[in-house]
Amino acid sequence: MRVYFFADRDISWLSFNERVLEEAGKDSVPLSERIKFLSIYSSNLDEFYRVRMPALLALKKIDKEKTGPTVYREAVEIINRQQEAFGTIFNKAVLPGLTRYCFKLIYNDSIPEKLKAETNYYFFTQVAGFLQPILIKANTDFFLENNQLYQAVVIRYASSEEQLFLVNIPTNNVPRFFKIKQDDGDYIVFLEDIIRQNLHHLFPSATIVGAYNIKITRDAELDLRDEYGDQAKKIAKQLRKRDFGFATRFLYEPGMPLRHLQEMIQIFSLQKASVVEGGKHHNLKDLAELPVSNAALAYEPWPAVQSVKASEMPETLFKAVEEEDRIIHAPYQSYDTIIRFFNEAAIDSSVERIYTTMYRVASDSRIGYALISAAKNGKKVSVLVELKARFDEANNIRWAQKMKAAGVKIIYSSNLLKVHAKIALVKRKNQRAPYLGLLATGNLNESTARFYTDHILLTAYQPMLAEMEGLFDFLRKRKGRAVQQIHFQHLLVAQFNLQTRFLEMIDREMENARAGLPASITIKMNNLEEKVLITKLYDASNAGVKINLIVRSICRLVPGVQGQSEHITVKRIVDRYLEHGRIFIFHNNGKDDVYMGSADWMSRNIYRRIEVCFPIYNEQIRKQMLSLLALQWNDTVQAVRIDEKLNNISLRNDEAGQIRSQEAIYKLLSQQNI
């Protein structure tokens, strides 16, 4: 039996975040977009500390008697190196770049004298009313909130010892940045620096010994083990506890006296957290809100194109879908077609029932409003709202309650089994094609559709849609994790046949390779982590199958290893849009089978979720998907190759004919109507 190697998932994810950071470091990327990549990197790292670091800290405790580096130590070393690179990019590229465009961000410096009149006025009129200084002492019941900024202020009154206060930085109430126009340009000041400048107003008779910005990051896990009762209420209750999870990181400003640092660690029970000396300013994910409006600093606009010209569209979208399958490639093509699908369902008199899943609902969801209208218009509307979509739970609960109040039947998944599928079904009476369906690789969310690349199929293929109705019926009736047997011939559904069918299609490629026939697999996904499927890909490589993988984030498969994966190449694409679509192509001796869907190959997707992948039967759409994926595979500008050590290896060279796949796809779809 072969012994295969697997990469660590967390180290692999850090490699992805490093690729995001690399994009921020490119001179070829417009300045505002470089700032956004820095913001994305920072936001990603915060989530890593909230979601993954608790597990690494637990492993650190288990492995403390072992010699050699633990994954925790390796992760910390990588993060420290990345943070140094972040600082270099920000100080040596971003700040000088802003200055060239007359934007002067006051960073790691005191506020210039000429700005103090305006910043003082701003402090008293906009900021002071939100400030609540707290004296820190041994028996304090004050709690440091997750990812909130504070200023640790050391003061001394005459003839007394130093005292430590915490001052909240009210970024939930006041913008993080304050812009002041001057003759020589726009000056931008951090909110915490304005507060620091005015601390003497908070402590009028004291000497300000020092002020140091701090931040705590806390575990984001929810305890959802209980399977019974009102799930919305239970999750809402758990959400209130989330920001009170144990601390995983304590970030502090350089120069903070060690005695006060230790005092805070003791008082707030931060002994198990990673104690990290950061920069002067934390929460740099807020850089996305930096008020630097200048078209020259941003990407060239790519207005979404219509998938079909209005003049060539039948009277209704439903009629168009009856005639032929349609596909929308977001964000290159307008999401209006998807909104129209739900809008037509809401008012069409032939529509009897509407079913849909909603995993991450837009905050002002037009799809949600259409479903409410449909219910009020007498249709039977069933919506499976996933309450456990991390960091979107509160918004999903709000929409579930709003739709339920309007008469929509709301279905919640069990606490043990998420529903991650992206599907919708319309059932009509007295129609040649009673079913119309929507199957997607990404969320039914018009907000994220503006910057996530996804593919949405609209179809009237009745046998496949009858299977979808069976799945919705199962989800409506199911209790717990028990899975009744449903036969799916067309759909691939996790918990039923998804893993088995993927393994069978890999086996078929292996058989073809052994028979001397062409054999290849091309897959694009967000994460590749599940060991059974990775092992099968290793087996296929050893059988001679050529395997091309585009994996955006976590990849536990180690490519290019002799006797394991020498026929496997892994690439990663990071560009202006977030690559999100999942596409699976099996050569099948020249009769390419093309599937798309919601499922990454992770243990959670395969074993703990309902996922749906679907075949592309329409020949024109199938050829288009092959063309789009070929463009991505041949990207030499934004794609990197992942080597056996998880390094991002550039594919760019100085030769003519460089391909930037997102730009090429946009140009291609701008010229086509499918």
Contacts of 654 (CB under 8 A, 6+ apart): none
Q: DSSP letter at 442?
A: S
Residue position matching structure tokens 């369902």: 345
* DSSP track, 3-62: ---B--HHHHHHHHHHHHHHHHT-TTS-HHHHHHHHHHHHHHHHHHHHHTHHHHHHHHHH
Give the rounded distance of the alpha carbon of 282 from its chain centre: 21
Active-site choice (281, 282, 329, 420): 420
Which value, in Å, is the radius of gyration of the alpha carbons in the chain? 27
Decide if 527 contacts 555 (C-beta within 8 A).
yes
Structure tokens at 135: 């004296």
Decide if 614 contacts 536 (C-beta within 8 A).
no
Residue 376: which of 398, 354, 397 has the closest Cα?
Answer: 354
Instruction: Give dist(CA 85, CA 279) in Å, integer.
Output: 13
Instruction: Give dist(CA 635, CA 633) in Å, integer.
Output: 6
Q: Give helix then strand counts, H and E, for the chain.
A: 20, 28
Residue 324: which of 179, 443, 433 has the closest Cα?
Answer: 433
Decide if 241 contacts 221 (C-beta within 8 A).
no
Which H helix or E strand runs over 238?
helix 231-242
Residues constituting the chain: 674
Q: Which amino acid is at 11?
A: I
Residue 490 bears catalytic tag:
no
* DSSP track, 142-195: ----BT-EEEEEEEE-TTS-EEEEEEE--TTTS-SEEEEEETTEEEEEEHHHHH
Pairing mode, strands 134-135 and 185-190: unpaired
Q: Catalogue the active-site residues.
A: 420
